[in-house]
Amino acid sequence: MSQLDAFLAGERHEDVALYLTDQYLDSQGKLPKLGEAVEGGYVLVVPGDDGRQAFAAGTGMDAMEFARGAMEETGHISRSLDGGECPAADGDDAAAHEVEFIFAFSEAQNEEVGGLYERGDVVHAYAHCACGVSYSDKWVVGEEAATGVQPGGSEPVESTE
């Protein structure tokens, strides 16, 4: 099992995952292409502190500040952390709304918190779009299609149950 698969399975709560597209890395010059090559870019799964440093080095932003800002908008983020659907896209300008990078972490199941957290391990993902908009998604491991924002949607499905 790759590090990314283990992360997505909720087995690496101490780690964070970063996805950076080839295009973004190329446009930023000399950033190293680290991690696992995936469709369109690279995913790096590393311990939290290293991940936050890598994120800051790669994007010039503070990871937690980025995550806080991205929480204001929801949009579908690919369950394999290699793409997303920008909530500002109106359908005919897909190229202007390519994901540039994604930051993600997971939390262990916590029955006391209730809601999603009662159902299982939760993956939190935050994406930055080429248009400048950031957005977030979160889902329960094992219920990827039943929780969070689904493709074509704009709101988490569990909040409309």
Residues engaged in binding Zn ion (CB under 5 A): 86, 88, 97, 129, 131, 133
21 closest CA partner among 81, 124, 84, 100: 100
Task: Give, in degrees to the nearest 5, the angle at Cα 159 between 151 and 128.
Answer: 45
Nearer to Zn ion, 104 or 133 (CB): 133
104 closest CA partner among 24, 56, 37, 43: 43
Q: Closest separation between CB of residue 20 and Zn ion, Å? A: 17
Q: Closest separation between CB of residue 115 and Zn ion, Å? A: 28
Q: Closest separation between CB of residue 67 and Zn ion, Å? A: 17
Strands 15-21 and 36-38: unpaired
Nearer to Zn ion, 116 or 125 (CB): 125
Decide: 38 and 19 in contact? Cβ < 8 Å: yes
Nearer to Zn ion, 52 or 97 (CB): 97
Helix (H) or strand (E) holding 43: strand 41-47
Q: Closest separation between CB of residue 142 and Zn ion, Å? A: 29
Nearer to Zn ion, 7 or 19 (CB): 19
